[in-house]
Amino acid sequence: MNAERRPRIGVLALQGAVREHVTAIREVGAEPVEVRLPRDLVDLDALILPGGESTTMRHLIDAYNLREPIAAMARAGTPLLGTCAGMILLANRIADGDEPVFGLLDLEVRRNGYGRQLDSFEADLDAPSLGEGPLHGVFIRAPMVSATGPDVEILARDPDGRPVAVRQGRVLATAFHPELTGDRRIHRLLAEMVEGARRPA
Ligand code: GLN
């Protein structure tokens, strides 16, 4: 058992918004690990799939043979967090065509669902289960969650009431970029999920 050491949290570093996640991981007291090859996944306590471009990421995940080892980590109960494009990679339904990648979250996402005129926007999000005060969300060509299954817990909603942060078991996802603000509640929750996963059931 490694209950004493700092959790090691990986960030898939093939493409996209990696550096700010690395900073956020340090700020919640965990050790960041940049993941480019299957061997980088060894001994990770959690993994973040960052924002970026989900089509590019999907190709790179297969080019670097990361799909099966990441799926195996999830099956073994390792906590995962997907942000923006990462949420798309975790969803089991992608509206308008694309095949799911990991299919670990029972929800439907629509890529760029907030529309072109809202390429980027920020909003205060209602997130009562994450503690006091709204969560500030930075959305960049964000996916829109168009449906959620019964096992999906909604942690935050946009001003129109749509889910933008969700959890299903040990899989967490946000449509926004939690690494781009100083609010560390999402990364802290991931670190807490690591503690929960380490405890014997
Ligand atoms: N629009 C991107 C996609 O569909 C996601 C954008 C992001 O991660 N900031 O892959």
Which residue intervals of 54-200 are DSSP H helices? 54-63, 67-75, 85-90, 185-198
Quick check: 77 pLDDT over 60?
A: yes
Amino acid letter, residue 104? L
Q: Which residues contact 154 (CB under 8 A, 6 or more apart)?
A: 148, 163, 165, 166
CA of 74 to the centre of ligand 1 (A): 22
CA of 15 to the centre of ligand 1 (A): 11
Each residue of 21-56: pLDDT tens digit? 999 999 999 999 999 999 999 999 999 999 999 999
Whole-angstrom distance, CA of residue 117 vs CA of residue 122: 13
pLDDT of residue 132: 84
pLDDT of residue 119: 82
pLDDT band for 118, please (50, 70, 90 cuts).
Answer: low
CA of 98 to the centre of ligand 1 (A): 13
Work out the mean pLDDT of the chain and round it to a whole number.
94
Residue whose CA is closest, atom 2 of ligand 1? Answer: 53
Please say whether the beta carbons of 157 and 125 come within 8 A: yes
179 is an active site residue: yes
Please tell me which residue in 21, 84, 108, 187 is annotated as part of the active site. 84
59 is an active site residue: no
Please say whether the beta carbons of 176 and 139 come within 8 A: yes
Pocket mutation for ligand 1, best pick of 11, 88, 108, 179 (most atoms within 8 Å of C-beta): 88
Closest CA to 53 of 140, 155, 128: 140
pLDDT of residue 97: 78
Mean pLDDT of 158-175: 97
Please say whether the beta carbons of 171 and 104 come within 8 A: yes
Global confidence as pTM: 0.95
195 is an active site residue: no
